[in-house]
Amino acid sequence: MSKPDDFLPTVRALVHCYQTFVVHSESHIRTLGLTPAQFDIVATLGNTPGMTATELGEKTLITKGTLTGVVDRLVDRGWVERVAHESDRRCQIVRLTKAGDKLFNKVFPAHMAFMQTQFAGATLAEHANWQAALNALQAQLTPESPT
Protein backbone atom coordinates (compact mmCIF):
# COMPACT_ATOMS: atom_id res chain seq x y z
CA MET A 1 0.00 0.00 0.00
CA SER A 2 1.31 3.43 -0.87
CA LYS A 3 1.94 6.18 1.63
CA PRO A 4 0.13 9.54 1.37
CA ASP A 5 3.15 11.33 -0.14
CA ASP A 6 4.13 8.62 -2.66
CA PHE A 7 2.50 10.60 -5.50
CA LEU A 8 4.81 13.63 -5.12
CA PRO A 9 7.71 12.22 -7.20
CA THR A 10 5.22 11.45 -9.98
CA VAL A 11 3.86 15.01 -9.89
CA ARG A 12 7.40 16.40 -9.88
CA ALA A 13 8.43 14.21 -12.85
CA LEU A 14 5.29 15.18 -14.78
CA VAL A 15 5.80 18.90 -14.16
CA HIS A 16 9.50 18.78 -15.07
CA CYS A 17 8.74 16.85 -18.27
CA TYR A 18 5.98 19.29 -19.25
CA GLN A 19 8.15 22.33 -18.51
CA THR A 20 11.00 20.92 -20.58
CA PHE A 21 8.65 20.20 -23.48
CA VAL A 22 7.16 23.72 -23.32
CA VAL A 23 10.57 25.45 -23.16
CA HIS A 24 11.82 23.63 -26.27
CA SER A 25 8.56 23.98 -28.20
CA GLU A 26 8.02 27.66 -27.39
CA SER A 27 11.62 28.63 -28.11
CA HIS A 28 11.29 27.17 -31.60
CA ILE A 29 7.91 28.84 -32.18
CA ARG A 30 9.49 32.20 -31.35
CA THR A 31 12.16 31.61 -34.04
CA LEU A 32 9.25 31.40 -36.50
CA GLY A 33 8.21 34.95 -35.56
CA LEU A 34 5.16 34.00 -33.50
CA THR A 35 4.22 33.85 -29.87
CA PRO A 36 3.09 30.46 -28.60
CA ALA A 37 -0.53 31.72 -28.40
CA GLN A 38 -0.39 33.02 -31.98
CA PHE A 39 1.00 29.71 -33.19
CA ASP A 40 -1.71 27.84 -31.28
CA ILE A 41 -4.44 29.83 -33.04
CA VAL A 42 -2.86 29.62 -36.50
CA ALA A 43 -2.28 25.87 -36.10
CA THR A 44 -5.83 25.31 -34.85
CA LEU A 45 -7.41 27.31 -37.68
CA GLY A 46 -5.19 25.75 -40.36
CA ASN A 47 -6.99 23.46 -42.80
CA THR A 48 -10.39 24.49 -41.41
CA PRO A 49 -13.06 26.86 -42.72
CA GLY A 50 -12.76 28.71 -39.42
CA MET A 51 -14.68 28.50 -36.17
CA THR A 52 -16.38 30.64 -33.59
CA ALA A 53 -14.32 32.20 -30.83
CA THR A 54 -15.95 29.79 -28.39
CA GLU A 55 -14.88 26.79 -30.46
CA LEU A 56 -11.41 28.26 -30.90
CA GLY A 57 -11.10 28.73 -27.15
CA GLU A 58 -12.13 25.12 -26.53
CA LYS A 59 -9.60 23.75 -29.03
CA THR A 60 -6.61 25.85 -27.95
CA LEU A 61 -4.67 26.21 -24.73
CA ILE A 62 -5.59 29.90 -24.56
CA THR A 63 -7.84 31.36 -21.89
CA LYS A 64 -10.92 33.27 -22.97
CA GLY A 65 -9.50 36.53 -21.63
CA THR A 66 -6.33 36.19 -23.68
CA LEU A 67 -7.95 34.86 -26.84
CA THR A 68 -9.56 38.12 -27.97
CA GLY A 69 -6.32 40.09 -27.74
CA VAL A 70 -4.31 37.45 -29.58
CA VAL A 71 -6.93 37.25 -32.35
CA ASP A 72 -6.94 41.07 -32.55
CA ARG A 73 -3.16 41.09 -33.08
CA LEU A 74 -3.43 38.36 -35.73
CA VAL A 75 -6.14 40.43 -37.48
CA ASP A 76 -3.84 43.47 -37.35
CA ARG A 77 -1.09 41.44 -39.03
CA GLY A 78 -3.49 40.30 -41.76
CA TRP A 79 -3.33 36.59 -40.89
CA VAL A 80 -6.82 36.18 -39.42
CA GLU A 81 -10.20 37.70 -40.13
CA ARG A 82 -13.56 37.75 -38.43
CA VAL A 83 -16.59 37.17 -40.64
CA ALA A 84 -20.30 36.99 -39.92
CA HIS A 85 -21.67 33.58 -39.03
CA GLU A 86 -24.04 32.34 -41.74
CA SER A 87 -26.87 31.25 -39.45
CA ASP A 88 -26.25 33.05 -36.14
CA ARG A 89 -25.81 36.80 -36.45
CA ARG A 90 -24.65 37.00 -32.82
CA CYS A 91 -21.51 35.03 -33.67
CA GLN A 92 -18.49 35.64 -35.81
CA ILE A 93 -16.29 33.08 -37.47
CA VAL A 94 -12.54 33.45 -36.98
CA ARG A 95 -10.61 32.14 -39.96
CA LEU A 96 -7.24 32.41 -41.63
CA THR A 97 -6.82 34.85 -44.49
CA LYS A 98 -4.85 33.89 -47.60
CA ALA A 99 -1.77 35.33 -45.89
CA GLY A 100 -2.67 33.31 -42.78
CA ASP A 101 -2.94 30.13 -44.86
CA LYS A 102 0.49 30.86 -46.33
CA LEU A 103 1.85 31.40 -42.81
CA PHE A 104 0.26 28.15 -41.59
CA ASN A 105 1.76 26.21 -44.52
CA LYS A 106 5.18 27.59 -43.58
CA VAL A 107 5.23 27.43 -39.77
CA PHE A 108 3.21 24.30 -39.03
CA PRO A 109 5.37 21.86 -41.01
CA ALA A 110 8.50 23.59 -39.73
CA HIS A 111 7.42 23.16 -36.12
CA MET A 112 6.30 19.57 -36.64
CA ALA A 113 9.73 18.81 -38.16
CA PHE A 114 11.41 20.44 -35.16
CA MET A 115 9.27 18.47 -32.72
CA GLN A 116 10.03 15.26 -34.61
CA THR A 117 13.73 15.85 -33.93
CA GLN A 118 12.95 16.01 -30.22
CA PHE A 119 11.70 12.42 -30.40
CA ALA A 120 14.42 11.17 -32.74
CA GLY A 121 15.73 7.77 -31.82
CA ALA A 122 12.66 6.70 -29.85
CA THR A 123 11.25 3.35 -30.88
CA LEU A 124 7.60 2.63 -31.63
CA ALA A 125 7.52 0.57 -28.44
CA GLU A 126 8.77 3.56 -26.42
CA HIS A 127 6.10 5.78 -27.97
CA ALA A 128 3.45 3.17 -27.16
CA ASN A 129 4.68 2.93 -23.56
CA TRP A 130 4.69 6.71 -23.10
CA GLN A 131 1.22 7.03 -24.60
CA ALA A 132 -0.14 4.23 -22.41
CA ALA A 133 1.41 5.74 -19.28
CA LEU A 134 0.12 9.24 -20.06
CA ASN A 135 -3.35 7.95 -20.93
CA ALA A 136 -3.45 5.95 -17.70
CA LEU A 137 -2.35 9.00 -15.71
CA GLN A 138 -4.99 11.15 -17.39
CA ALA A 139 -7.64 8.56 -16.59
CA GLN A 140 -6.44 8.50 -12.97
CA LEU A 141 -6.73 12.29 -12.75
CA THR A 142 -10.10 12.55 -14.54
CA PRO A 143 -12.99 12.75 -12.10
CA GLU A 144 -15.67 10.16 -12.57
CA SER A 145 -18.80 11.51 -14.13
CA PRO A 146 -21.92 11.30 -11.97
CA THR A 147 -24.23 8.47 -12.92
Could you read off the pLDDT of 97-147 as tens digits, one per residue?
999 999 999 999 999 999 999 999 999 999 999 999 999 999 999 988 665
Tell me the sheet residues that pair with 94: 51, 82
Contact (CB, 8 A) for 108 and 43 = yes
Which residues are within 8 A (CB) of 97 and not within 5 positions of it... i.e. 6 or more apart? Answer: 78, 79, 80, 81
Q: What's residue 145's pLDDT?
A: 60
Distance between CA atoms of 77 and 83, rounded to whole angstroms?
Answer: 16
Residue 124: how many CA atoms within 13 Å on its side-chain side?
A: 0
CB 96 within 8 A of CB 46: yes
Please answer whether residues 108 and 28 qualify as being in contact, where contact means their C-beta atoms are separated by less than 8 angstroms: no
pLDDT tens column, 50-76: 999 889 999 997 888 899 999 999 999
Taking alpha carbons only, the member of 12, 54, 41 closest to residue 107 is 41
